[in-house]
Structures are given as structure tokens and as C-alpha cells.
Amino acid sequence: MTGSPLLRLLLVLAGLGLLAIPAWHLTGRETPAAIAPPALEKKPGSVAEVQLTFTSPIPPSRITVEAEGSKLVTCDPQTSVTTAKAPLQRAIDGNDLVVKASWPDASPKDNALRVQVAVDGNPLSDTTLWGSPNVEDVITLPGAPAP
């Protein structure tokens, strides 16, 4: 490129200035305030019976399942397969079940707990949790159909 170095410098600065305008517009704006989603109303009659099946080669000493901060199921299994039923308030956006299990200290290094969840006879979840000497995990159930 031939010509005056001063002219080339001015052209480069003008080009960089033109490129900076869109970046300044994108980053210079204030971020809009976060809009909270509307609270979901719990519809009466959306209580369903949840059947939980726990399978483990070595039965845990205690299994606890919580939903929405309250205990749904607490059991002390004596066999490798344990079944429990409880009522659950179904939410449109789904339910989170917190599953906690603990094994005796003399159990093997890694323990497995298979958790099967069925609602009104329809299977919704089949998950295997691993831990030693205890496990705590969340199982998310899909939402209830809209009425």
C-alpha cells in the first residue's frame, strides 16, 4: 500500500471507530430487570399416589425420601427389594424427590441403590444412585398434565 503513513493511520483509526460503535451499543445498555415467573397454583385433586421401589444388593440401614421440604417416605429395609407408597402433590412443572440412604460402615466401598418411581401405576423414573457409606441425590419427576 502506498501513500502517506499519516493517511493510513487515520483510515485505520476511522475503521476501528466504526467497529467500536456496535460493540458500544451492545455493552452500554442497562440490563432489564429480571421478571419473576408467575407462581403456579396447586390445583385441588392433583394429589397422586407415588409408589417407590428400592433395590439394593445390600439393604441400606435407612432410606428417606423428601418432597417439597417434607418427608414423603422413611423406611428401614430388611430385604434387598423394598416398596413404599405415599401421596404426592403433583406440580405442573414437575416434582423433585430428595433420596437419602445410608449403609452400615462395614458395607463394601461403593453401594448401589436403584430407585423406581411410579405414579398411579405409570412408571416415571428408574435411576441408580451410588455412594458410600451414604448417598443423597435428587430425582426429578416430570410434571403433571394440565387439567
Q: Which of 22, 19, 21, 26 is nearest to 11 (CA)?
A: 19
- Phi then psi dihedrals of residue 37, to 5 deg: -70, 150
The three-state secondary structure class of 52 is strand
Q: Give the angle 111-108-96 at the CA atoms, nearest 5°.
A: 15
> Considering the chain, what is the average pLDDT of its residues?
81
CA 51 to chain CA centroid, nearest Å: 20
CATH of domain 47-141: 2.60.60.40
Where along the chain do its domains lie? Answer: 47-141
Q: What pTM, to 2 d.p., does this model score?
A: 0.64
Torsion of CA 100, 105, 106, 112, to 10 degrees: 20
Reported as a single tens digit per residue, the pLDDT across 30-69 is 666 666 555 444 454 477 888 999 998 888 888 999 988 8
Which residue has better confidence, 31 or 112? 112
Which residue has better confidence, 127 or 88? 127
Q: What are residue 88's DSSP bridge partners?
A: 48
In this predicted structure, which of 74-78, 102-106, 116-120 has the lowest mean pLDDT? 102-106
